[in-house]
Amino acid sequence: MTALESTAPAERVYERAQQFIIEMIEGPDLAAGDRIPSERELSERFGISRMTMRKAIDRLVARGLLERRSTAGTFIPVPVIKRPITGQMFSHGISEIVRQCGGIPGNRLLFFERHEALPRVAERLLIRAGDPLIVIRRLRTVNELPFCVETTHIPATRVPGLAAEDLFGKQSLYALLKERYGIEMGSGVGTISVSAATAQEAELLGLQADSPALIFRATANDTRERPVEYLTSVNHPQRVVFETARDS
């Protein structure tokens, strides 16, 4: 028992321990996704016993302010990405959605290739089988933690000159479509299912092999209701939720 605990009621010390931690995680030195110091370090820093500190951390985990990750430690939770599935679900790019959820968006280009359209994809994009497609796969992140693997199919005739270099860094695909090609995204039609992630997808998302993932497949149209993109998105089930809302 510390000096603080010997002179203050147990409940008051427990509440103060929670407040110490809250002030720490809301301070400038830590951000969402960061690991907090160990129970031992925190008990020494704040002069509170490890038992009391553990109880305070348990309570903050229960409140959703902290997150335990097996043997990796205790972390500040990353914002959950709330993806809309309304009629205008493609009016905002995923980077903007991440920012609206309080996170910092990021992406890594996995591949950029030219393919011939398979019949299934061609039907959704209202083109002919065998027509040229741009196929883009990216790993999307929030606060540097992966939350989805997205594969995009775009008719090559809609985006002449588009190259992999255009998507490096923080460049938004939807912003690029609007600025360079005059394509403004609007409505879309999609489906959500649950399926086991492939070995590659699980590794990219930090999931165990054969873990379930949220699979989002959709056709995105421009504001003139012409198909622009056929999308397959494999989402981390703890970092993404899909929300429905009635369009105004």
Instruction: Kindly report each contact of residues 208-213 with a partner whose C-beta sits within 8 Å and lies 24 or more positions away, as own/partner.
Output: 211/237, 212/237, 213/237
Whether 214 has a pLDDT exceeding 80, the answer reads yes
Cα first-last separation, the chain: 59
Whether 103 has a pLDDT exceeding 50, the answer reads yes
Which pLDDT score, from 0 to 100, does residue 111 have? Answer: 94
Using CA of residue 176, residue 233, residue 188, residue 128, what is the dihedral sign? Answer: positive
Read off the pLDDT of each residue in 210-225 and give the average, rounded to a whole number: 94
Which pLDDT score, from 0 to 100, does residue 65 have? Answer: 85
Q: pTM value?
A: 0.74
Quick one: pLDDT band at residue 3, thresholds 50, 70, 90? very low
Q: Tokens 């309080």 belong to which residue?
A: 102
Q: Which two tokens stand for residue 65?
A: 């302010």
Angle between helical axes of 50-62 and 39-46 (0-180°, round to 10): 110
Instruction: Kindly report each contact of residues 9-16 with a partner whose C-beta sits within 8 Å and lies 24 or more positions away, as own/partner.
Output: 10/52, 13/48, 13/52, 14/52, 14/55, 14/56, 14/59, 16/48
**In angstroms, how far apart are the furthest CA atoms of the chain?**
79
Fold of 3-75: Arc Repressor Mutant, subunit A (1.10.10)
Exposed, middle or buried, 110 (CB in 10 Å: 0-12/13-18/19+)? middle
CB-CB contact of 14 with 53 (8 Å): no
**If you average pLDDT over each of 8-22, 25-39, 78-92, which comes out highest?**
25-39
What's the CATH number of domain 81-243, 3.40.1410.10, 3.20.20.60, 3.50.50.60, 2.40.50.140?
Answer: 3.40.1410.10
CA distances from 71 to 68, 75, 210 (A): 8, 11, 21
Instruction: Kindly report each contact of residues 29-35 with a partner whose C-beta sits within 8 Å and lies 24 or more positions away, as own/partner.
Output: 30/76, 31/76, 31/143, 32/76, 32/77, 32/78, 32/79, 32/102, 32/103, 32/143, 33/75, 33/76, 33/78, 33/143, 33/144, 33/145, 34/75, 34/76, 35/72, 35/73, 35/74, 35/75
> Poorest-confidence range of 9-18, 59-68, 119-128?
9-18
Q: Tokens 């996704």 belong to which residue?
A: 33
Q: Which two tokens stand for residue 221?
A: 């149209």
Q: Where are the alpha helices (DSSP H) in the chain?
A: 3-7, 10-25, 39-46, 50-62, 94-100, 119-125, 173-181, 199-205
Domain ranges of the chain: 3-75, 81-243
Which pLDDT score, from 0 to 100, does residue 76 have? Answer: 86
Per-residue pLDDT tens over the stretch 141-191? 988 889 999 999 999 999 999 999 998 876 789 999 999 999 999 888 889
Question: For residue 221, which of 87, 100, 127 has the smallest C-alpha distance?
Answer: 87
Which pLDDT score, from 0 to 100, does residue 63 have? Answer: 84
Read off the pLDDT of each residue in 128-135 and give the average, rounded to a whole number: 98
Q: What is the mean pLDDT of the chain?
A: 88
Q: Which two tokens stand for residue 192?
A: 């959500």
Dihedral of the CA atoms 221, 225, 227, 229 (nearest 10)?
-10
Is there a shared CATH topology between the 3-75 domain and the 81-243 domain?
A: no
